[in-house]
Amino acid sequence: MKFYKLNSAEDKNFQISWEIYEEAFPKEEKRLLSEQLELFSEPSYNATTCIDNEKIVGILFYWKLDEFYFIEHLAINRQLRGQFYGSKILTEFLKDKDNVVLEIEKITNIITQKRFDFYKRFDFYINEYRHYQIPFRKDALPLELLILSYKKRLNSEQYKSLYKNMQKALTRF
């Protein structure tokens, strides 16, 4: 498995990566293409394509926000789901990182429970803070989500610092 950072829409892996992104997330959880393209100039943002055996198997878009890594989007190519690529990508990403956070929908049905169970297997914990996603689109409203953290729960000061950094980084776009 190899990770390649996308640097522009002209990157040879961008189109397929963007199709995976578009298909995997609901409107309120993703950006418009024009907004996504602006992020390529942001040094703390990484749009990564995950390739195995010459095939794009998924995407991992994340931020480095001070001491935290914030996984914004992780998605697997629809034709390759169920082949453990999500686990492989997350395992590789987590190898040398401790302070990793991500957001998921509130657990309301079997699908959202399975999503949480997936991350729980990797030692992610639900933090009990009332958390709102920073809107990805200029016309979107905040969305209440769960904030998960890797290996340990965030204390109040860590959460406040993280959220402040998320607001600062993500509201510029």
Which tens digit of pLDDT belongs to each residue from 151-169?
999 999 999 999 999 998 8
What local confidence, expressed as pLDDT, does residue 29 receive? 86
What local confidence, expressed as pLDDT, does residue 172 receive? 62
> Distance of CA 149 to CAs 35, 121, 162, Å?
27, 12, 11
Q: Which two tokens stand for residue 144?
A: 């209440």
Q: Which two tokens stand for residue 65?
A: 């926000």
How far is residue 47's CA from residue 4's CA, in Å, rounded to a whole number? 8
**pTM for the full model?**
0.94
Low-confidence ranges of the chain (pLDDT < 70): 172-173
How far is residue 13's CA from residue 113's CA, in Å, rounded to a whole number? 32
Contacts of 119 (CB under 8 A, 6+ apart): 102, 104, 148
